[in-house]
Amino acid sequence: MSALPPDQPLRLLSVHAHPDDESSKGAASCARYVADGVEVMVVTCTGGEAGSILNPAMDTPEVQADMVGTRRAEMEKAAAILGVQHRWLGFVDSGLPEGDPKPPLPPGCFALEPLEVPTEALVRIVREFRPHVVVTYDENGGYPHPDHIRTHEVSMAAFDAAGDPDRFPLAGEPWQPLKLYYSHGFSKARVLAFHEALLEAGLESPYAEWLEKWDDSRPDPGARVTTRVACSEYFSVRDDALRAHATQIDPNGRWFQVPMDLQQRVWPTEDYELARSLVDTEETHEAPGDDLFAGVRERVGA
């Protein structure tokens, strides 16, 4: 990827369900593109109000009393670290239903909103920011959280609607993004590569139990990857952004147990699946590409 002329910026829109998702999914790629002169915007669909406090050091009465304000402040800090613009879509965290049977989702939450409502909100942002590329989750949400699945549905609907002048005519001038990707993080091959490299280095692996319980009957997202963005230089930026979400990320947890040099050597990319393209591109699982803007650069002359 080469640096862009200042008068021809490419634009990338990354759509996520909750604050902290942007830092755990594709953050190093975003930082890499920002450094290359690409304008990057993160959209967060919900406020993360229903998230638990996963870092014991942050589990205080003050934080518990203002989770909304805390998570907004964390998101602002993470966006600054990544160098991205940020927008809230403005919907309420649905929470992750647990139990057997699972309880119903709370009224008014993001996952229960009529699809047209958040779609129009995202179309408005797409038409304002005018991204060439959109990144979101696959149909499984990356994992089956109702907000992640809804984020996929809204992103796909907005991709199709943003360029149509007959859809949401009050939401701005039409703009058609050219490509849409799904971000794919923890394939079995990636987890296994880290596990084996840690053992070979004489280190304890935090992935042993995960691999023992791996459900091979579920499709592996690694089999869908078409594009691998080299971004290991920015893994430390990603980790700093993760730590900014202090209520959600335990600095002593699994995220940070793999030495940085090992991460950079074993798996130096973040991985994506090309789901929609209106430009010519040769990205496939058998011959993965290395640039989310492949074919776009030629179209826009960047």
- As annotated, the binding site for Zn(2+) includes 18, 21, 148
Q: Is-contact 196 238, C-beta < 8 A?
A: no
DSSP string, 27-45: HHHHHHHHHTT-EEEEEEE
Binding site members: 18, 21, 148
Helix (H, G, I), strand (E, B) or coil at 71: helix
Helix (H, G, I), strand (E, B) or coil at 237: helix
* Rg of the Cα atoms in the chain: 19
Q: What dihedral angle (degrees, nearest 10) is formed by the CA atoms of 291, 279, 302, 31?
A: -30
Angle (deg, nearest 10), helices 27-35 and 235-244:
120
Is the preceding peptide bond at 101 cis, omega within 30 degrees of 0?
Answer: yes
Q: How far is CA 225 from CA 12, 107, 180, 229, 273, in A?
A: 19, 36, 13, 11, 5
In this structure, the number of other CB atoms found within 10 A of the CB of residue 80 comes to 12
Q: How far is CA 264 from CA 189, 232, 241, 258, in A?
A: 15, 5, 17, 10
